[in-house]
Amino acid sequence: MPSLRDIKRKITSVKKTQQITKAMKMVAAAKLRRAQDRVISARPYSRKMFAVIANLASRVERAQHALLAKREPKKVKLVVLTSDRGLCGAYNTNILRKAVEAAREFQAQGKEVRINVVGRKGRDFFRKRAQFSVGQVWSDLGMIDYDKAAVIGKNIVDRFSAGETDEVYLLYNEFKSVIQQKVTLEKLLPVEPPTETDPFMSSVDYLYEPSAEAILSSILPKHIEVQVYRSMLESQASEMGARMTAMDSATRNAKDLIGKLTLKFNKQRQAAITKEISEIVGGAEALK
């Protein structure tokens, strides 16, 4: 049975942990607000960019641009977005589990899978699993900005244009709310033109200057960068939401544990006092 001193030390230790988790929750909440505002601002531009690309792509021959070229999917690139730090609940676990499932599904179809990773958690996870081929790794990016996303987008475009891969997929956590993030697998390349029933499809045609092909060649790489940027913002907002929720849960658990330890301390102290009183009374009776 632990002594009163041991229990008191444990109560002090849990209280210090509670202060840390509470502070981390407040920091995550502040960062979440900024990240959420950035996601909400980026979504309309991303959707409109896709609408423009979709309409242009439906009016040109796919072979006219490398990013539209549809090849037999023998080589697949999976870009997995994770965080650099932990203490965010099941955020990384969910995305990495889905990444493994997707990679094995592609391999079962006879495709060669190469995984690009954003974030240290994903890097460390796949380095320990030799059955997966890992390509580019980007980590310690800090706060996301467009320039960082553009570097990743350019790498994806260059590899696809060079014929090193036939399909590119993005795997990330889409931000829904503070307590809900959706793991999303999204095909990035080749860019798929919409069907007739697609809401992005417009029956109105336009006059293009200099030409639809020239405009497409100019904005297609930019479109990939924008989609990567948006997905990275979604991931960062999801990470902050998951960390805020995890730290809130940890703070409440620490409070419950402190209550249980305090109760145990009081009971044990009362037992010790009762024992001492009994020994004093017994000694006094023996002296009579």
Find out whether 227 and 46 touch, Cβ atoms under 8 Å: yes
d(CA 188, CA 67): 10
Find out whether 119 and 82 touch, Cβ atoms under 8 Å: yes
d(CA 164, CA 220): 18
CA dihedral 192, 197, 202, 204 (to 10 degrees): 120
Closest CA to 228 of 94, 116, 110, 72: 116
- Long-range CB pairs of 206-212 (<8 Å, 24+ gap) are 212/56, 212/59, 212/60
Find the DSSP H helices in the chain. 4-57, 91-108, 120-127, 146-161, 212-287
Record the tokens describing residue 65, joined without a space: 């641009």
Record the tokens describing residue 233, joined without a space: 């913002």
Selected catalytic residue, list 28, 49, 76, 88: 88
Question: Is position 102 annotated as part of the catalytic site?
Answer: no
d(CA 106, CA 102): 6
Find the DSSP H helices in 109-136. 120-127
The one-character DSSP state at 71 is -
Find out whether 247 and 90 touch, Cβ atoms under 8 Å: no
CA angle 80, 86, 90 (to 5 degrees): 70
Residues tagged active-site: 88
